[in-house]
Amino acid sequence: MHPVLADLIELLSLERIEDNIFRGDSRDIGSPQVFGGQVLGQALSAAQFTVEGRVAHSLHAYFLRRGDINSRIVYEVDRARDGGSFSNRRVVAIQHGRPILNMAASFQEPEDGLSHQAEMPDVPAPEDLRALHEFADELPEGVPMKLRRFLTEKRPFEFRPVRPVNLVDRLRLPPVTHVWIRAVDAVPDDGPLHQNLLAYVSDYELLGASTLPHELSYAADNVIMASLDHALWFHRTFRIDEWLLYAIDSPNASGARGYSRGQFFTRDGTLVASTCQEGLVRVVDPADARKRSDPKKQR
């Protein structure tokens, strides 16, 4: 297996300390704090360890504090309810004695029922698009290192955006993003693992859609963004190592917050998951942005 993907799978596996207590490491992906998708995926993994015979169908999480990349994270699971068909779990992620994330997840015994879904957007196939890292060669000299690293860092997922990437110029664009996503290598036939990996990657690209109509340039280093909450629904089974179209739109931005929602489709148009998120989006003086991005500061 590709070493970067293998490392992510190990990261999501967690260490069991007690029946309902788990511990995980963190990875630096270039952000000033622990990547929200990592905490989300690990929290879901912790909840899954306490459930048998049932599959996650939804989760709802709040990001409370910045995560410290240099410290391990403890996950405490509350087995809130095991009913006839559904189980509910509450998870708290803790660092330095304080919660950084609260999450509730619901699990269901598989069963048949009514079925309908939204249609997949009509977009080019992934083979007809450029990979995200290919746009790094077009960045001019002097752009922030974090921006260049975002495009060039080896990641466990391949991204192929439908719209050409432009992170430097100030453009006014519709609040819509389409990007094909898949793991860089084959993933074991483990349904919960595929869900954990989707939870992880669902935090990419999502909030950024809310900035598109506002002529912002990430190279200007004057935008502060942070996830506030995240919800995810699993509709149908899928494989994260096969292409999924992540279709995102942002219906609203106000009060220094952006709201975005997304849908994951397989290549044949099957809707397998939906997500939504609200996040902090502040436009500030670049010097103030650098100060506020200090992991020791709290929003």
Distance CA 229, CA 60 (A): 8
Using CB atoms within 10 Å of the CB of residue 116, give its burial: 0 to 12 exposed, 13 to 18 middle, 19+ buried.
exposed
| Spatial separation of the C-alpha atoms in residues 192 and 122, rounded to whole Å | 29
Strand-strand pairing, 244-254 and 176-183 = antiparallel
Catalytic residue among 203, 221, 229, 249: 203
Spot the catalytic one: 106, 210, 227, 250. Answer: 227
**Using alpha carbons only, what angle is made at residue 289 by residues 253 and 161, rounded to the nearest 5 degrees?**
55
Q: Is 203 designated active site?
A: yes
Please name the residues in contact with 226: beta carbons below 8 A apart, sequence gap of 6 or more.
33, 63, 66, 279, 280, 299
- For this structure, is 227 an active site residue? yes
Q: Is 127 exposed, middle or buried, given 0-12, 13-18 or 19+ CB atoms closer than 10 A?
A: exposed
Q: Contact at 8 Å (CB) between 105 and 93? A: no
DSSP three-state, residue 93: strand
SS (H, E, C) 242-271: CCEEEEEEEEEEECCEEEEEEEEEECCCCE
Cα torsion 198, 199, 201, 204: sign? positive
Catalytic residue, chosen from 26, 195, 260, 277, is 277
Residue whose C-alpha is closest to residue 40's, from 67, 4, 16, 7: 67
The catalytic residues are 203, 227, 277
